[in-house]
Amino acid sequence: MITRVYIDNFRCFTNFEVRPDRVNLLIGNNGAGKSTFIEILNNVMKLAVLGEAVEQVFPENMRTRWDSRPTQRIELDISANGGTYQYILQLSHDLARETVTLQKEEVKYESRALFLYDDGAVQLHDDDGKLRTQVPFRGTRSFLPQLEPRPENILLTWFLDFLREVWLIKLDPTIIDPESSIESDWLYSDGSNFASWYRHLSQERPEDMPKLFERLGEALPGFRALKTVSAGKGGQKRELVAVFGFGDPELKYEIDFDDLSDGERATIVLYCLLMDAEGKPKTLLLDEPENFVGLQLIQPWLVELADAMRDEGQLFLVSHHPEVIDYLAADRPLLFERPGGGPARVRLDPFDRNEGLKASQLVARGLLDAG
């Protein structure tokens, strides 16, 4: 899991450091940096795994407005495989041309070099830290997405697989496309490709579908199943259809996914995400997942998700919802704040337990521990 994050010269983050736990609740006023924090973590994945261009992932406007330095830096420490990985990313801005390129990108394990991009050259090391290959490379993208798994780079391959499972979710059920022409092993941050991801999920994890439907039946009265039906192109194009019923098990009716309410669509996506996280550890960056979902639905989902993440994976959850705050306050609450409108800072365990109030009440009344 991620044990340390350092961010310098990105929007409201200057010389910022935090050491998260396995389950983390991100709270604070609007504009305090909560969403920016998880966006930066997700952007590292986009750069190092998806291969997106540096200028696309970290555009010039992500620099701190009051900081004139042309360099930005991100560091991640990740505990795994009996040791600690360290990832270092340094970007360089040409302020006159308004361009940005990689200045340095490095992956180490227990202080042994596994990968280094520096000064226009890539160095590839084996698991023992021995230099194997050096090649010239332009710093407009990361070289890491080009790497192929080999017996000598098992540690680096594991690191990239870990980053691949860093998922940012800021769900918007109003834009979910109910039709799909292909399967996808990736759920977009807004959930818009849910139909394609669900096709993949149902094919890869058929043994988990009954439990998923049972959970959804408890959350959505009458829910029986979610299936894909042919929508043309010889069956290649599929459409999501929800199956409901009541009383007699044989009495069923179907509702097009697009005809469900926003809350029902969001609930289905969230429970699918829970099922996936239980089967394959992920680092989930959830930005107000309770949006569109009622209180009676979010609580049981949150309980099961947090329980799963306490065993494997890692959770960063941004929320203003009282129920969410009260439940996760016992884990690792991270209070983001910007004193005087300056750089973002984080306070750990900001709740004064002697007040006799719920965590959400302390937040609402401004009675957080001054630290």
Query: What ranges do the domains of the chain cover?
Result: 171-261
The structure tokens listed for 101 are 């390129």
Q: What percent of the chain has pLDDT over 70?
A: 96
Q: Let me know: does 283 contact 167? Beta carbons within 8 Å.
A: yes
Q: What is the pLDDT of residues 212-255, one digit of tens each?
A: 999 999 999 999 999 999 887 666 899 999 999 987 778 899 99
Q: Distances from the Cα of 272 to the Cαs of 189, 208, 301, in angstroms?
A: 14, 10, 11
Q: What is the pLDDT of residue 367?
A: 57
Confidence of residue 364 (pLDDT cuts 50, 70, 90): confident
What residue type is 198 in one-letter code?
Answer: Y
| Higher-pLDDT residue of 364, 127 | 127
∠ Cα 85 336 288 (to 5°):
90
Residue 182 has pLDDT above 90, yes or no: yes
Cα separation, 318 vs 299, in Å, equals 15
Q: What is the pLDDT of residues 62-110, one digit of tens each?
A: 999 999 999 999 999 999 999 999 999 999 999 888 899 999 999 999 9
Query: 22-39 as b/e, with b when 16 or more CB fall inside 10 Å?
Result: bbbbbbbeeebbbbbbbb
